[in-house]
Amino acid sequence: MQRASELFNEQQRKQVEDAVSKAESGTSCEIVPVVATESGSYDRPEDMAGLWLAILAAVTVWLLFPRELDQPGDWAAAPLWTGVTSMIAAIVVAFVIGTLAGNRIGWLRRLCTPRKQMLAKVETRAREVFFDRRVHHTLGNTGMLIYVSLFEHMAVVLGDQEVLDKLGQPVLDKLCEQLTSDLRQGHPSESLSQVIMSAGEELSGPLPRSDDDQNELQDALVLID
């Protein structure tokens, strides 16, 4: 699975940070882009992948080695314990392989994880980052968090109270839709830069930059592994 710290080179980080600086030049809002490797731990994918692979192995063994009733005078059929042993061994090996695959293969983990669970984890983690990174501590309550979680393939855009009052949740939802749409087509650095510039345009009208405005939060791309 791709780690956030390994996804961006120096040039791509600078591209995002330059977009933040340019967007904030026209608004008093503080924009903080964050990319996380994942937003929570998921135990179910490993178990589900192991279970389904074990079931598949059991069916395969049953079909390859069907058990027939012994016929009088027939000593060619394999004894019962041979089939049972093969079945147990196949189930155990398949379950171990499935759990390892479910832990390491990103698309398989997503396939075995309910989307609602991933969405809840991403939203919860985004709110934690919103407070941990002090996005809510700006003097005018004008912080905005643009959060991307790589494993879940999900994003969240959060705004502080003044941003919500002036823009409204529908505008933040539109920015989030733009971000997720762009992420499907290109590199996260391009997608983040574009949505940051769009956010700056939306914010420059209702929350223009004043002459004495101070840059309260660093114009940096935050990467969380």
**Residue 73 in this model has a pLDDT that exceeds 60:** no
| Angle CA 213–217–220, to nearest 5 | 125
**Residue 76 in this model has a pLDDT that exceeds 60:** no
33, β-bridge pairs: 146
- pTM confidence score: 0.77
The confidence band for 174, taking pLDDT boundaries of 50, 70 and 90, is: very high
Provide, rounded to the nearest whole percent, the portion of the chain with pLDDT above 90. Answer: 53
Residues 106 and 168 in one domain: no
Classify residue 136 by burial, with Cβ atoms within 10 Å: 0-12, 13-18, 19+.
middle
What pLDDT, in 10s, does the model give residues 9-40? 999 999 999 999 999 999 999 999 999 999 98
CA proximity to 179, closest of 162, 160, 193: 193
Q: State the total domains in the chain.
A: 2
- Which of 111, 139, 170 is at the close of a domain? 111
Residues 120 and 165 in one domain: yes
Residues 190 and 161 in one domain: yes
Query: Across the chain, what does the average pLDDT equal?
Result: 84
The confidence band for 102, taking pLDDT boundaries of 50, 70 and 90, is: low
Residue 147 sits in a domain of what CATH number? 3.10.310.50
Residues 101 and 118 in one domain: no
Whole-number pLDDT of residue 80: 58
Residues 127 and 58 in one domain: no
Q: What is the span of the domain harbouring residue 71? A: 44-111
Residues 126 and 92 in one domain: no
Q: From CA 160, how far away is CA 29, in angstroms rounded? A: 9
Provide, rounded to the nearest whole percent, the portion of the chain with pLDDT above 70. Answer: 82
Residues 127 and 180 in one domain: yes
158, β-bridge pairs: 145
What's the token pair of residue 30?
A: 């503080």
**Residue 163 in this model has a pLDDT that exceeds 90:** yes
Region 65-85 average pLDDT: 57
Residues 180 and 127 in one domain: yes
**Residue 139 in this model has a pLDDT that exceeds 90:** no
Residues 203 and 157 in one domain: yes
Angle between helices 188-204 and 10-24 in degrees, nearest 10: 10
- Which of 86, 111, 136 is at the close of a domain? 111
Q: From CA 147, how far away is CA 128, in angstroms rounded? A: 11
**Residue 75 in this model has a pLDDT that exceeds 50:** no
- Which of 68, 95, 111 is at the close of a domain? 111
**Residue 81 in this model has a pLDDT that exceeds 80:** no
What's the token pair of residue 158?
A: 């959060």
Residues 92 and 174 in one domain: no
Whole-number pLDDT of residue 77: 54
- Cβ–Cβ under 8 Å, residues 145 and 158: yes
- Cβ–Cβ under 8 Å, residues 146 and 31: yes
Residues 120 and 32 in one domain: yes
In whole angstroms, how large is the CA radius of gyration of the chain? 26
- Cβ–Cβ under 8 Å, residues 171 and 202: yes
CA proximity to 54, closest of 93, 28, 80, 26: 93
Query: What count of other Cβ atoms lies within 10 Å of the Cβ of residue 211?
Result: 4
Whole-number pLDDT of residue 1: 67
Residues 59 and 82 in one domain: yes
Maximal C-alpha separation, the chain: 101
